[in-house]
Chains A and B, each alone.
Chain A
């Protein structure tokens, strides 16, 4: 037997589900209301989480716990955080450029490191030295599989090569013929890949839709019983 508090939260969940699902009929005030409330709650929750889990332990507590030599370093961070707050005012926003530059620099390093170590090296290695995960696959099919992977990777990359040259003056720039052919084959791999990715997302979304419809079907009798 659900308590009255539980029923209130079931009602809240039911209400927000119906308000959001009303979008299926087109953009409407009910959907907007639910989305504005959702954004308000989520952004406040984010601020609360950041204050308790990052700002207090990483920015405030060290002032009371670190040695004087570390304190100087910590002051640099503190000043940068204060400068970043100036971004809230259009007049003072330029003072926040230094911490923004720091963030861009750190982000750049992480992106370069991640791209080189995490993607380029590992994916190239995996493509060149491809081994089928399944032991039941015939040797001939395994070779074919490796070739498909290699060819697919190369032609997909070729599709995204948009550099073009002109041979004579006044001529429209175009890609070399071999690159054009590779990129045409690349379109096949891209279309099939996007199709497979689409299906993954669609199946997840469909699961969510079934879950919500089942929630509505289950909660209506529960709420009616609670009202009665």
Chain B
């Protein structure tokens, strides 16, 4: 009984928006636009709630007695409050503020991506050591082939008409696999969505 109003809200919202997608009536389309606009605002509030929950977790890690203190949380809180106060004071469109934030964000993000290169190479080597089945061998051969292809070493082969056709055909194999995976994800999303729409899954009951 307790969850019925929430289920009703979820199903009604989903049905109204879906009708706006599939039925071409101006009233339904404007209802869809309004409801999606509300969803954008609510998602933003939910994101803010999430961030403040994160801040609360770090605050507790640092200040609640009887627990081992996480000193890194102090750096998190310091960075958070300085950026928040300066941002609220100057506004995010301020060039100086943007420069400060991106001067830290950009190097960290690119460096994390750079670390991914090392981790991926290490991961493939570990996989070769631990699993030596058909899938692994196929995967590694595919990696080697497409790495060579991306490097441009095989570019002169494109002058040979037959080899060009074969390379073109081999390049289509990942496209077919990706299409199958995409369709699988879409079918899975559709099934999950329909379960929520029919009220059999209720992930909002917290």
Contact = CB atoms under 8 A, between A and B. Distances in A.
A134 B167 CA distance: 13
A20 interface: yes
B189 to A, nearest CB: 5
6 contacts: A44-B80, A45-B92, A145-B168, A152-B172, A195-B143, A205-B117
B179 A190 contact: no
B140 A195 contact: yes
Interface string B73-115: 1011111111110011001110000010101111110111111
Given A21-B114, A44-B81, A195-B141, A190 B41 contact: no
Contact of B110 (A12, A34, A208): A208
A34 B72 CA distance: 9
A36 B73 CA distance: 7
A21 B76 contact: no
Interface in B19-60: 21-22, 34-49, 51-56
Interface residues of A, number: 120
B55 to A, nearest CB: 8
Interface string B4-20: 01110111111111100
Nearest to B110: A208
A55 B104 contact: no
A48 B92 contact: yes
Contacts, number: 391
Interface of B: 3, 5-7, 9-18, 21-22, 34-49, 51-56, 72-73, 75-84, 87-88, 91-93, 99, 101, 103-108, 110-118, 120-121, 124, 134-135, 138-143, 145-147, 150, 164-165, 168-169, 172-187, 189-190, 192-194, 196-197, 202-206
B110 A212 contact: yes
Contacts of B37: 58
A103 B194 contact: no
Contacts of B38: 77, 80, 102, 106
A174 interface: no
A195 B176 CA distance: 13
Contacts of A103: 39, 42-43, 46, 204
Given A9-B103, A37-B75, A43 B80 contact: yes
B13 A145 contact: no
Question: 5 closest Cβ contacts across the A-B interface?
Answer: A152-B176, A156-B180, A195-B142, A193-B177, A40-B79
Given A16-B111, A105-B10, A42 B105 contact: yes
B174 A196 contact: yes
B203 A104 contact: yes
A12 B101 CA distance: 11
A104 to B, nearest CB: 5
Q: Secondary structure at chain B's binding surface: helix, strand, loop or mixed?
A: helix
Contacts of B150: 199, 203
Interface of A: 9, 12-14, 16-17, 20-21, 23-24, 32-55, 58-59, 73, 77, 80-81, 84-85, 87-88, 93-94, 96-120, 123-124, 126-127, 134, 136-138, 141, 144-145, 148-157, 159-160, 186-199, 201-206, 208-209, 211-213, 215
Q: Secondary structure at chain A's binding surface: helix, strand, loop or mixed?
A: helix
A160 B115 contact: no
A136 B165 CA distance: 9
Nearest to A206: B117
Contacts of A49: 92
Candidate in A35, A137, A193 with the most chain B CB atoms within 10 angstroms: A193
Contacts of B42: 77, 80-81, 84, 99, 102-103
Contacts of B87: 44-45, 47-48
A123 B179 contact: yes
Contacts of B51: 43-44, 46-47
A157 B142 contact: no
Contacts of A187: 134-135, 138
Contacts of A14: 107
